[in-house]
Amino acid sequence: MSNKRLIYGFHAVNARLWQNPKSLLELYVQEGKSDARTRDVLEQAAKCNVRVHFADAERLAAICKNARHQGVAGFIDASKNHVHLEDVLENLKEPPFLLVLDGITDPHNLGACLRTADAMGVHAVITPKDRSAGLNATVSKVACGAAESLPYITVTNLARTLRELKEYGIWIVGTDMGGDADLFHYPVPESVAWVMGNEGEGMRRLTREHCDALVSIPMYGSVESMNVSVSTGMVLAETRRQRSLKA
């Protein structure tokens, strides 16, 4: 199955079991483990009729390519996680709050961005099909379940998608060191899609041209830049802060 993907660790596995169990093809649990978290996984898997295999530590390590699996791993049908942008936007009960990741290629950064986006109540994450790390086992592990619960939309033409967002009345706000406004003095639009660029090169030219505004993050120390996942956390938290004040 071309859409078969590995996940591992309790956060990623539990997220699938509780939110999308039909996408779980099979689970692998380390034999001999009887702690509370393992028992909970086995109990939920039985309720959801998910096939469970017990494996020794060596086999589980081989399946997960020696990653820190915590004694549990599984294979999912990734096609069952596919959602369309229209499905998300047409079912919202509050102004859209989106995150666009333009070419995040490090799976650890992508996972961290997804985790923060989920924590801040982002409605969906949009990424281009190319120039992106894509969802994999590392991303799922770092995201601590967010990769399984947060709508993750891949698009073939990011510029066209940004134009579609504007048709919904959503402001496209990019982050750039030379932005016209700084984050702490920028009134975030009610409906917004934040655009974060590549770890080294930033946003692509065409992406930048589709932004309605460019906002910088003030730097008060000696460093000149921050990790993209940290920057993402700052703009999302500031957006949520402003929303809470308006509410």
Binding-site residue numbers are 197, 217, 226
Cα separations (Å) of 49 from 42, 77, 90? 10, 15, 32
Q: Which two tokens stand for residue 64?
A: 């997960």
With beta carbons less than 8 A apart as the criterion, state whether 158 and 128 touch.
yes
Residues of the binding site for S-adenosyl-L-methionine: 197, 217, 226
Contact 215, 187 (CB under 8 A): no
Element (H, E) at 74: strand 72-77
Looking from the CA of 239 toward its CB, the CA atoms found within 13 Å total 28
CA proximity to 67, closest of 120, 136, 121: 136
Q: How many CA atoms lie within 13 A of 165 on its CB side?
A: 31
Residues 6+ apart with CB under 8 A from 227: 109, 199
196 phi and psi angles, rounded to 5 deg = -110, 135
- In the block, tokens 């096609």 appear at 79
Long-range contacts of 218-224 (CB under 8 A, 24+ apart): 218/182, 218/183, 218/184
